[in-house]
Structure 1
Amino acid sequence: MASKRSGSSSSAPRGRSGNPARAAEAERLAKQRKSETVSAKAEYEENVRKRRRGIAAWWAVGSVAAVAVAALIAWSFITTPWNEYDIASVDPSSIEGVETFDNGTDHVTGEVDYPQNPPAGGPHNQAWLNCGVYTEVQEDEHAVHSLEHGAVWITYDADSLTDAEVERLREYVPGGYGLMSPYEGMDTPIAVSAWNAQLKLDSVDDSRIEEFFQAYWRSPDVPEPGASCTGAIDGPGRL
């Protein structure tokens, strides 16, 4: 008896089209999807790396900025005297040798011939001298405007004092609303001036210097109490 033959001699592999064109197209699409997946993954990973590099860069910039700010603050503490005085804690009339005046408050341009030497008020430039310690002579017209805001100004004859004495004077200058600079043509080694008040002295260790600051520093009786002593003119030689 003859054996039973299969209905066909061959058959296409399961799950695969028997049409060669369709098989080729399917294979092409599969490769394309795989390529797109690889490209998308590579792009994602590159974006992650870029973000990480950006974050690292910002951390680096922030760290440098923080160090710079800290260094600036530290330098300011090192170079700037920060003592302050109690406002109007001493009666000016109790300080021996203080002279008082009656100067006007006009804003002017050009030089002013002041009646006091150094000046202790009067017409002045509309721009004030930023408070601080200066190693060079300053323009009267700017410094007088600072007095109008409540600053106290120490001036000294550089030829009459030693370097150590000049350093001792710096210790009196507060962190704000204080000026110090050499001055030419003085008749005493030291003068301490406020608006319409002045004290002339021979010694840097005279206790009246501190008393003068306690009486006149940031006085509420100046023409412009509380006005700024920064943000205007930096004269030559500022420390």
Structure 2
Amino acid sequence: MASRDQDQSSPVPPKVAKDQTVKQQREARRAEKVAKLKAQQAKEKRNRILGISLASVAGVAIVALVVTFVVTSAEPERDRASIQIEGVQTWGDELDFNHVETAVDYATQYGTNPPAGGSHNPAWLNCGVYTEPQQNENAVHSLEHGAVWVTYDASAVNEDEVNTLRSKLPDSYVLVSPYEGLPSPIVVSAWGAQLAFEDPEDPRLADFIAKYWQNPDLPEAGASCSGAIDGPGKVA
């Protein structure tokens, strides 16, 4: 007959049970920490993805706005041939492109005053603003490169009016200088074209610039307007 002690399960010693409880608690706390860490990492990942997505959308929107602004605000280039300017004088085949070392009587030879083309010095006048009259033969060579030449009567146009003229001109391929014996207070010339007017605010000046400035049909269109001769009184 089995003893009574053999029929009953041996009880877990109190110390062992306590150790198991502590270990379980530690495992539970560790599992909880791991779960919280994973949840935090998942949240941060979602936030990063969301931030990147929003930044990308914002970037695309900004680029679209910039492109839209540029496209809608840019003025289309005007068709030169369609621009009609009241009072403009033009010259054609009578203007030659010869290089000469001598002085040229433009009024007699070509009927232009100031000159608007014809024979000219091999060295061009550097584009810019001058406070003194310039050598015709050098300035005409600049016209052949596509520049426009704004001449004015210093006795009829004051400094403020000259500044007004300058504000309406391009930043390059432009000559500005006083000129003696003009038929009008202000005359703007390009190769083969000329316009005389009195008011610096005359809207025809803008039309003249649009039609003749940097004319691509000239033999030396786009050639440099610097690196040659600075005339007297250059201020800009």
Q: Sort the TM-score into its range (normalised by shorter chain).
A: 0.5 to 0.7
C-alpha deviation, 1:89, in angstroms: 4.2
**Superposed counterparts of 1:63-74, under 5 Å:** none
TM normalised by structure 2 equals 0.63
Question: For 1:105, which of 77, 91, 97 is the aligned residue?
Answer: 97
TM normalised by structure 1 equals 0.62
Say if 2:230 is the partner of 1:234: yes
Give the equivalent residue in structure 2 for 1:141: 137
**Superposed counterparts of 1:1-239, under 5 Å:** 89-91=79-81, 94-102=84-92, 103-114=95-106, 115-239=111-235
Matched residue pairs, number? 155
Structure 2 CA distance for aligned equivalents of residues 113 and 96 of structure 1: 27
CA RMSD of aligned residues (A): 1.7
1:153–1:180 Cα contact (<8 Å) kept: yes
1:88–1:216 Cα contact (<8 Å) kept: no
Structure 1 CA distance for aligned equivalents of residues 188 and 82 of structure 2: 13
**Gap change, CA 1:185 and 1:89, over 3 Å in 2:** same
C-alpha deviation, 1:212, in angstroms: 0.5
> 1:184-231: CA deviations, max 9, x gaps?
001100001000100111111100011100111111011211111010
Question: Which is helix-richer, 1 or 2?
Answer: 2
Structure 2 CA distance for aligned equivalents of residues 206 and 174 of structure 1: 16
Structure 1 CA distance for aligned equivalents of residues 196 and 126 of structure 2: 23
Provide the identity percentage. 55
Q: Unpaired segments of 5 or more residues in structure 2?
A: 1-74
AA partner of residue 88 (structure 2):
V
Structure 1 runs of 4+ with >2 Å offset: 85-93
Structure 2 CA distance for aligned equivalents of residues 223 and 100 of structure 1: 17
2:83–2:211 Cα contact (<8 Å) kept: no
Q: Unpaired segments of 5 or more residues in structure 1?
A: 1-84
Secondary structure at the aligned position of 2:140 is classed as: helix
1:90–1:211 Cα contact (<8 Å) kept: no
2:151–2:187 Cα contact (<8 Å) kept: yes
